[in-house]
């Protein structure tokens, strides 16, 4: 972990959503659509939580997104999240909304909390109705299995996966107001990933004591540079949901104003969200490499973001990364059509990987680099393009993945 | 050809850029980068032409784009276009611009016309310098081979291909002011296709007599609904160029104002550009099907365009079309993130192909359609999605293609 001085107090620890005090989780097999794998997850806090969320900007919003938006805005507290994979409960009309309510009522009854304290989330195929009987049977299993162990958190991270190849979870600890505060999270990808206001599904739990207003502000401002800077395929899902639950059990004095303690929480939050976002990008459907683009010297922060995202979204560039082909012209092309203004004659491009860094483009023409060396760097599991625009001092980083045969294979017949 | 009444006078004829009076063409092997195939083309008019062009909006503009923009704006007339495939002459700095000038001077000398009457165009790999000696040798061959035969036009259409699988050319005739007017054209794709103001490379020739101002207006207004409505991979090229040359040899009275004769010319132009644009989309890199999306009932023309393009650009939808999978949720998702406003509960979706038409989504939920029938339609070589937004009466159509393994294969190592 980077940093020094005060920042040294933040450290990564084992675990995920069960790392913070008072949080339990479970992941079980409910046969919602998949067979012989975990497909329902529960995140539960022993005490009421403040919650915040960011949701898809897609006009077509899945039923659970509508349910959660309402709860996060109106409910005095939340205490649980029920998640299923396999079916997205999107484009399901009134029946889909009724199903969210039934899920929340079922979980509320079994957990002894109000239905209005139960958030729900779904991911998978669009357009199919959830099998409510199997969902309710799954919730019974979840309520019985919930536990605060690291294993329970991992089970939940596994249960929310769709085409992901690995579960994604992380936890960090830091000190706020003299108290140890823990923040953990899990998320899932890995197709229809082009978050706009948040990611596919992400769940964060923390025992920090913070006002609802500042919790929401921290989350909203964070996603702009974390989850909103990744893309697997340019498709902004109908289900994108990022939720954070804060139960206050760390017993720090409540954070009610911006300042050092709020900043420290934001720093821990950003570490967790960026880590999860990168994992999601690197585990994009069919991906063989994490593809990072760092833009520096941009005229504005907004330009830097637009430029970086344009490169990681370019199908041609992604295919070239898959082929370990130093086809930098496609990168310059993607910067060029991004919408941000710059002088192509005054851009420097570099490729960077574990095996080195090379200068490939300068003053409007190619540098005299070694193709062999470039291919070596582009064969690394994490490839970075560094673009210096020489227009100002703003910078941004975006993360995506390469475009492989397997992306097509996975998506040509995802429903079967 | 559709239409009735006055429109019946327009008919498709054999040929391409040599169909109109006074135009000659050639396609030869110049070994610019490819071996053993035609890779340089010439379009030439025996008399001076008025010209108009639309060019890439990419900030990074290839040298030939800069050359042509200047000529189209400043030169009193043009008379020839020299094209090469294999190398794009983009990101090539001053040397690239010098090369354009040398090309035009060489062609001007051999054709007996001013260098400022010679347009140039290049397509292929970005970042490599053109081999000027081979280009000049190619121009000599072109000048010697030029002819007004249909075969010469076809040779030119073949020479401008890169990853295209078929040459694309068309010609139509109509009657304007009592005279037979001919309009022909050719174009090439098939990657980095997401034109914004024009397509990769398109060349139109006509013997119509029209003012320079109206020729430019007709072209600019046409591309909005033709070439700008196609996408293969979302990458707007550095080289996009669409040129039209009008030499007036049809001897119709000069069209100098909008009216019936201008409209008739626009109609012929739109038939040719739309035909070429669809051919380009259907021959997209790795494509197995032309994928058309027609949006009707949109609130505005701009919304209709945005919605239609969003669907044909969606990687997930394109992969589903490749898999003949009726995964309509992805279509609704792509409409949803397009940026246009609509009510998802009030959209009707249909799949349409040569083998039939089915209603798949209505009133917020899936219709009761046959998956087998849907798979049959999605196995057609031309698949249409029809989306009725029920918001107004604007409509637009966009064309793309499916996303296949071959797209990845072609682009993972295009340079080798």
Q: How far off is chain B from A236, nearest CA to CA, in Å?
A: 6
Mean pLDDT value across residues B10-32: 95
- A-chain CB neighbours of B362 within 8 Å are none
Q: Which residue of A has its CA nearest to B125?
A: A329
**Which of 251-310 (A) contact B at CB < 8 A?**
none
Residue B113 has pLDDT above 80, yes or no: yes
CB contact under 8 A, B325 and A237: no
**Which of 323-362 (A) contact B at CB < 8 A?**
323, 325, 327-330, 332-338, 340-342, 344-345, 361
- In sequence order, the 6+-apart residues with CB closer than 8 A to the CB of B230 are B193, B194, B195, B199, B277, B278, B280, B281, B312, B398, B399, B400
Question: What are the two backbone dihedrals, phi and then psi, of residue A358, each rounded to the nearest 5 degrees?
Answer: -130, 150
Q: Which residue of B has its CA nearest to A340?
A: B59
DSSP state of B238: S
CB contact under 8 A, A413 and B325: yes
Mean pLDDT value across residues B107-124: 96
CB contact under 8 A, B329 and A88: yes
Candidates B191, B314, B316: best to mutate against A (most CBs of A within 10 A) is B316
| Helix and strand counts by DSSP (H, E) for chain A | 11, 15
Candidates B97, B127, B342: best to mutate against A (most CBs of A within 10 A) is B127
CB contact under 8 A, A333 and B192: yes
Q: Which residue of B has its CA nearest to A367?
A: B127
- A-chain CB neighbours of B410 within 8 Å are 319
Q: Which residue of A has its CA nearest to B366?
A: A127
Exposure string of B278-313, with b = 16+ CB inside 10 Å and e = fewer, is bbbbbbbbbbbbbbbbbbbbbbeeebbbbbbbbbbb
Q: Do residues B58 and A336 make contact, with C-beta atoms less than 8 angstroms apart?
A: yes
Q: Closest CB to A192: pick one of B56, B333, B365.
A: B333
What tens digit of pLDDT does each residue of B353-378 get?
998 999 999 988 899 999 899 999 99
- A-chain CB neighbours of B348 within 8 Å are none
**Which of 155-214 (A) contact B at CB < 8 A?**
191-192, 194, 196
Share of chain B above pLDDT 90, in %: 70
Q: How far off is chain B from A16, nearest CA to CA, in Å?
A: 30
CB contact under 8 A, B238 and A60: no
Active site residues of B: 199
What tens digit of pLDDT does each residue of B315-344 get?
889 988 998 988 898 899 899 989 899 999
Q: Do residues B120 and B100 make contact, with C-beta atoms less than 8 angstroms apart?
A: yes
Q: What is the pTM of this model?
A: 0.82
Is A381 in CB contact (< 8 Å) with chain B?
Answer: no
CB contact under 8 A, B333 and A92: no
Is A320 in CB contact (< 8 Å) with chain B?
Answer: yes
- B-chain CB neighbours of A237 within 8 Å are 333
Cα(A314)–Cα(A233) distance, rounded to whole angstroms?
A: 9
Q: Closest CB to B365: pick one of A92, A323, A330.
A: A92
Residue B7 has pLDDT above 90, yes or no: no
What is residue A315's predicted lDDT score, i.e. its pLDDT? 86
Cross-strand bridge partners of residue B366: B361
Q: How many CB atoms within 10 Å of residue B136?
A: 17
What is residue A1's predicted lDDT score, i.e. its pLDDT? 41
Cα(B406)–Cα(A71) distance, rounded to whole angstroms?
A: 46
Cα(B239)–Cα(A310) distance, rounded to whole angstroms?
A: 18
- A-chain CB neighbours of B239 within 8 Å are none
Strands A290-298 and A394-401: antiparallel
Beta-strand ranges (E) seen in B310-413 are 348-353, 356-362, 365-366, 382-388, 394-401
DSSP B52-81: EEEE---SS--HHHHHHHHHHHH-S-EEEE
In tens digits, what is the pLDDT along chain A, a chain of 416 residues?
443 444 457 899 999 999 999 999 999 999 999 899 999 999 999 999 999 999 988 888 899 999 999 999 999 999 999 999 999 999 899 999 999 999 999 999 999 999 999 999 999 888 899 999 999 999 999 999 999 999 999 999 999 998 888 899 999 999 999 999 999 999 988 776 666 544 478 899 999 999 999 999 999 999 989 988 888 776 777 888 889 999 999 999 999 999 999 999 999 999 999 999 898 888 888 888 999 999 999 999 999 999 999 999 888 899 889 989 888 988 998 999 898 999 999 999 999 999 899 999 998 889 999 989 999 999 999 999 999 999 999 999 999 999 888 888 887 865 54
- B-chain CB neighbours of A126 within 8 Å are 327-330, 332-333
Cα(B385)–Cα(B328) distance, rounded to whole angstroms?
A: 9
Is B74 in CB contact (< 8 Å) with chain A?
Answer: no
Exposure string of A56-85, with b = 16+ CB inside 10 Å and e = fewer, is bbbbbbbbbbebbbebbeebebbbbbbbbb
Cα(A62)–Cα(A270) distance, rounded to whole angstroms?
A: 27
What tens digit of pLDDT does each residue of B217-253 get?
999 999 989 888 888 776 777 888 889 999 999 999 9
CB contact under 8 A, B316 and A413: no
Please tell me the total number of residues recorded for chain A in this structure.
416
Q: How many CB atoms within 10 Å of residue B343?
A: 12
CB contact under 8 A, B408 and A413: no
CB contact under 8 A, B91 and A366: yes
- A238 catalytic? Reply is no
Residue B211 has pLDDT above 60, yes or no: yes
Please tell me the total number of residues recorded for chain B in this structure.
416
CA atoms in the 13 A half-sphere facing the CB of A184 = 28
CB contact under 8 A, B93 and A364: yes
* ipTM of the modeled complex: 0.77
Candidates B55, B88, B91, B231: best to mutate against A (most CBs of A within 10 A) is B91
Here the tokens at position A283 are 């585990």
Is B366 in CB contact (< 8 Å) with chain A?
Answer: yes
Q: How far off is chain A from B58, nearest CA to CA, in Å?
A: 4
- B-chain CB neighbours of A345 within 8 Å are 93
Cα(A410)–Cα(A401) distance, rounded to whole angstroms?
A: 15
What is residue A249's predicted lDDT score, i.e. its pLDDT? 95
Q: Do residues B51 and B76 make contact, with C-beta atoms less than 8 angstroms apart?
A: no
What is residue A415's predicted lDDT score, i.e. its pLDDT? 55
Q: Closest CB to B337: pick one of A236, A332, A337.
A: A236
Q: How far off is chain A from B365, nearest CA to CA, in Å?
A: 5
- B-chain CB neighbours of A323 within 8 Å are 411-414
- B-chain CB neighbours of A191 within 8 Å are 316
What is residue B218's predicted lDDT score, i.e. its pLDDT? 96
Q: How far off is chain B from A156, nearest CA to CA, in Å?
A: 26
- A-chain CB neighbours of B414 within 8 Å are 320, 323, 325, 327
Is B314 in CB contact (< 8 Å) with chain A?
Answer: yes
Here the tokens at position B169 are 């050319």
Q: Which of A199, A274, A293, A317 is catalytic?
A: A199
CA atoms in the 13 A half-sphere facing the CB of B58 = 35
Candidates B200, B319, B345, B387: best to mutate against A (most CBs of A within 10 A) is B319
CB contact under 8 A, A234 and B314: yes
What is residue A285's predicted lDDT score, i.e. its pLDDT? 82
What is residue B197's predicted lDDT score, i.e. its pLDDT? 44
- A-chain CB neighbours of B231 within 8 Å are none
Nearest to A79 by CA among A254, A243, A250: A243
Q: Would the CA dihedral through A44, A49, A54, A55 be positive or negative?
A: positive
Using the structure block, give the residue that is written with the tokens 């799954």: A138
CB contact under 8 A, B412 and A234: no
Q: Closest CB to B327: pick one of A57, A407, A415.
A: A415
What is residue B413's predicted lDDT score, i.e. its pLDDT? 67
């Amino acid at each position: 972990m980077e940093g020094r001085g005060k920042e040294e107090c933040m450290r990564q620890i084992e675990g995920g959503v069960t790392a913070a005090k008072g949080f339990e989780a479970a992941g079980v097999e409910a046969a919602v659509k998949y067979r012989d794998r975990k497909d329902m997850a529960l995140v539960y806090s022993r005490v009421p939580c403040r919650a915040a969320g960011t949701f898809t900007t897609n006009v077509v919003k899945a039923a659970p997104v509508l349910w959660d938006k309402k709860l996060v805005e109106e409910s005095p507290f939340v205490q649980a999240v029920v998640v299923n994979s396999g079916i997205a409960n999107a484009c399901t009309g009134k029946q889909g909304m009724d199903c969210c309510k039934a899920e929340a009522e079922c979980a509320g009854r079994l957990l002894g909390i109000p239905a209005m304290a139960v958030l729900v989330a779904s991911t998978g195929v669009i357009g199919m109705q959830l099998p409510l009987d199997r969902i309710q049977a799954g919730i019974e299993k979840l309520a019985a299995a919930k536990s605060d162990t690291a294993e329970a958190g991992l089970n939940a991270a596994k249960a929310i996966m769709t085409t992901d190849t690995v579960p994604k979870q992380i936890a960090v600890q830091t000190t706020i107001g003299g108290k140890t505060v823990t923040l953990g999270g899990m998320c899932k990808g890995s197709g229809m990933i082009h978050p706009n206001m948040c990611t596919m599904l992400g769940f964060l739990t923390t025992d920090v004591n913070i006002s609802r207003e500042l919790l929401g502000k921290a989350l909203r401002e964070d996603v702009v540079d974390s989850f909103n800077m990744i893309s697997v395929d340019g498709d902004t899902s109908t289900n994108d949901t990022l939720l954070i639950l804060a139960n206050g059990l760390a017993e720090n004095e409540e954070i009610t104003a911006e300042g050092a303690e709020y900043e420290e929480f934001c720093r821990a939050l950003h570490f967790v969200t960026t880590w999860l976002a990168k994992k999601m990008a690197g585990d994009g459907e069919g991906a063989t490499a994490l593809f990072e683009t760092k833009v520096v010297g941009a005229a504005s922060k907004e330009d830097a973001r637009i430029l970086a995202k344009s490169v990681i979204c370019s199908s041609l560039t992604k295919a070239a990364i898959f082929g370990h082909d130093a086809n930098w012209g496609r990168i310059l092309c993607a910067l060029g059509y991004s919408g941000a203004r710059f002088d192509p004659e005054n851009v420097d491009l570099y490729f960077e990987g574990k095996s080195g860094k090379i200068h490939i483009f300068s003053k409007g023409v190619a540098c005299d680099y070694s193709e062999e060396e470039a291919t070596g760097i582009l064969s690394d599991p994490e490839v970075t393009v560094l673009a210096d625009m020489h227009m100002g001092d703003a910078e941004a980083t975006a993360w995506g993945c390469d475009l492989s045969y397997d992306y097509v294979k996975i998506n040509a017949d995802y429903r079967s």
